[in-house]
Structure 1
Amino acid sequence: MMILLTGSTGFVGQALLARLAAQPALDLVVVSRRPNSSLPAGVAHAQVADIAADTAWQPVLQGVQVIIHAAARVHVMSDKVADPLAEFRKVNVDGTLNLARQAVGAGVKRFIFISSIKVNGESTAPGKPYSAESQPAPVDPYGISKLEAELALRELAAETGMEVVIIRPPLVYGPGVKANFLSMMRWLSKGIPLPLGAIQNRRSLVALDNLVDLIATCVEHPAAANQTFMVSDGEDLSTRQLLRRMGGALGRPARLVPIPAWLLEAGASLLGKRALAQRLCGSLQVDISKTRELLNWSPPLGVDEALRRAAEHFLEHQAE
């Protein structure tokens, strides 16, 4: 089977590349904007322009049976462009649909789209997780663009018969993670007291290895066709629990100060950090029961082992 992978230089893409390259029954082609001389043996590379509405994909689609589309214009905290939604649409909607339409013409059987939990929204009431059937309610331009791409892909699948698989991950963590998760590990490793000891929220996360395993499962599983899947580690944590267990993995017990959530949120709003406070204090849960039952899939990695792997990589590279 020949698979085309986009986004192979990203956080998820790199791990997915390593996983698929290790399977001898697969022929793997990766695409990127720049030459790549460090690919695993046996992996082919194709250089393409930016993912856009006019990108020519035909030269790299010959013989491809499955596309895993992990490339995207990703969510950024402080977008400086005049019209963020228009910029997200150029890549995440127009670029995705251009690739998908050309895939239909090339006879590609299955298109796996890595979407985002932001399609559903930014928060859930405790004990009321998002499911694959929940009504989408994206808030920011990134989530809106991902939803628009999902809807267009489903329409294309209905019209053409190409199978579409949609996966919506929450926050992904693992070796080499960046952004807020990396900041959290830095705070813990320095022993900085954190005012999060009273937070009783619930958040779903997904370890990089667990997400990659689900994507690999969806490559050939017959029940995955034309389905949308939620993914997580199967164990939801409060921010307080996450910090304590991450601190244990780092060998630096978390120093947590019990400040009420309402006070943290009020202070964060005054400082212009309301979105950060929401992620630290609010809940965002996903229900993966459909993923478990339909695919007979369970997260292969437990939370503590996943945190240990992330911590190990951080400790080896923290001076970089």
Structure 2
Amino acid sequence: MKKILITGINSYVGKSVKKWLDKYPNTYSVHTISLKNDSWKEKNLSQYDVVLHVAGIAHVSSDPKLEDLYYKVNRDLTVDIAKKAKAEGVKQFIFMSSIIIYGNSDINNGVIDQATVPVPSNFYGNSKLQAEKSIIPLENDNFKIVILRPPMIYGKGSKGNYPKLANLARRTPFFPNFKNKRSMLHIDNLCEFIRLMINNNESGIFFPQNNEYVQTSELVRLIAETYGKKVMLIKIFNPILSVINQRIEVFNKIFGDLVYSMELSNYKQDYRVYSLRESIVVTEEQLTNI
């Protein structure tokens, strides 16, 4: 049995992974810990095989007053817990980074591949990248490091852009039919990927994503369908969107291109529990036939 410690007791990813691994009670023993105060420094980590570090600030802010806090939490805290884990004999450290380290979707036509160099566009992304660079040198034969750079994570109870789009899909009669591509990752697909990382005692940088790219308009249409609603996709606004998409960040996040090449996300074992359509049904909790 592998003993796993997850940092961040209120983390959406952390809680989801614990629930996923708890389905295998004879294989994994999972505990969680808060890093909000210094009490974690007194905890003995020698009993754990794996530390999954998901604690951190997980939203983008442009407030310069928060910059130091981002580096303190996302970088410095990551380094501190990784060093402690290594010193106390933990065998594997899994760090939840993000696609955010690559900046905006104007890079290489929005396609990230093995040759793409991370260029963060804000201090949130840079704090994650600096954390990666700081913990990689800690790795050795007895201390494996896994860095995950997932795209937008969604699922039941998730926060961010997905629930906003889902709410819109339930209400709007029409939506722009604008062609774009986004990488996304359903939470259960991520949980299974992490389980495989643990099973295989992996190390390295990984880019898990769903096996299908998402067009925002099609995502809205699929969500609406799970509620028995129809959304009319229209192209009348496309010329305007083509212009403001490059100038206004919020529109770029919705209608811009940002994907990992599929080759980058392949793994030797299948971790995609759900297809896109299946994941939408599961997320929206509709008792529909897929």
| TM-score, normalisation: structure 2 | 0.89
Match for 1:205: what amino acid?
A: M
1:100 counterpart = 2:82: yes
Match for 1:230: what amino acid?
A: F
Aligned to 2:13: 12
1:308 counterpart = 2:281: yes
8 Å contact kept, 2:44–2:88: no
Query: In structure 2, do the counterparts of structure 1 residues 55 and 95 end up closer, same or farther at CA, with 3 Å as the change threshold?
Result: farther
Aligned to 2:263: 289
1:240 counterpart = 2:217: yes
Q: CA deviation at 1:12?
A: 1.4
Q: CA deviation at 1:241?
A: 1.7
Aligned to 2:132: 150
Partner SS for 2:5: strand
8 Å contact kept, 2:94–2:146: yes
Q: CA deviation at 1:122?
A: 2.1
Runs of 4+ in structure 1 displaced over 6 angstroms? 125-128
2:185 to 206, 209, 222: 206
Match for 1:213: what amino acid?
A: E
1:185 counterpart = 2:159: no
Q: Deviations over 1:20-79 (max 9, x none)?
A: 2222221211112xxxxxxxxxxxxxxx543xxx66434241311100011111123x55
8 Å contact kept, 1:202–1:282: yes
Aligned to 1:278: 252
Aligned to 2:4: 3
Query: In structure 2, do the counterparts of structure 1 residues 132 and 66 end up closer, same or farther at CA, with 3 Å as the change threshold?
Result: farther
Query: In structure 2, do the counterparts of structure 1 residues 156 and 98 end up closer, same or farther at CA, with 3 Å as the change threshold?
Result: same
What is the CA–CA distance in structure 2 between the aligned matches of 1:303 and 1:139, rounded to whole Å? Answer: 29
Query: In structure 2, do the counterparts of structure 1 residues 180 and 86 end up closer, same or farther at CA, with 3 Å as the change threshold?
Result: same
Q: CA deviation at 1:177?
A: 2.2
8 Å contact kept, 2:170–2:223: no
1:135 counterpart = 2:120: no
Q: CA deviation at 1:161?
A: 4.6
Q: Deviations over 1:277-312 (max 9, x none)?
A: 10122100112434424x323412111010011122
1:21 counterpart = 2:22: yes
1:162 to 143, 147, 156: 143
Q: CA deviation at 1:9?
A: 2.0
Q: CA deviation at 1:217?
A: 0.9
Aligned to 1:174: 155
Aligned to 1:35: none
Q: CA deviation at 1:262?
A: 4.6
8 Å contact kept, 1:55–1:98: no
8 Å contact kept, 1:231–1:291: yes
Greater shift after overlay, 239-248 or 255-264?
Answer: 255-264
What is the CA–CA distance in structure 2 between the aligned matches of 1:56 and 1:132, rounded to whole Å? Answer: 36
Ranges in structure 1 where 5+ consecutive residues have no aligned partner: 33-47, 314-320
Partner SS for 1:299: coil
Partner SS for 1:61: coil
What is the CA–CA distance in structure 1 between the aligned matches of 2:108 and 2:181, rounded to whole Å? Answer: 6
Match for 1:99: what amino acid?
A: I
What is the CA–CA distance in structure 2 between the aligned matches of 1:155 and 1:266, rounded to whole Å? Answer: 43
| TM-score, normalisation: structure 1 | 0.81
What is the CA–CA distance in structure 2 between the aligned matches of 1:186 and 1:123, rounded to whole Å? Answer: 24
Aligned to 1:218: 197
8 Å contact kept, 1:132–1:230: no
Ranges in structure 2 where 5+ consecutive residues have no aligned partner: none
Paired residues in the alignment total 284
Q: CA deviation at 1:220?
A: 2.4
Q: Deviations over 1:92-111 (max 9, x none)?
A: 11001000111111001100
Query: In structure 2, do the counterparts of structure 1 residues 264 and 129 end up closer, same or farther at CA, with 3 Å as the change threshold?
Result: closer
What is the CA–CA distance in structure 2 between the aligned matches of 1:262 and 1:120, rounded to whole Å? Answer: 27
Partner SS for 2:195: helix
8 Å contact kept, 1:250–1:308: no
What is the CA–CA distance in structure 2 between the aligned matches of 1:126 and 1:154, rounded to whole Å? Answer: 26
Query: In structure 2, do the counterparts of structure 1 residues 23 and 124 end up closer, same or farther at CA, with 3 Å as the change threshold?
Result: farther
Q: CA deviation at 1:250?
A: 2.6
Match for 1:249: what amino acid?
A: T
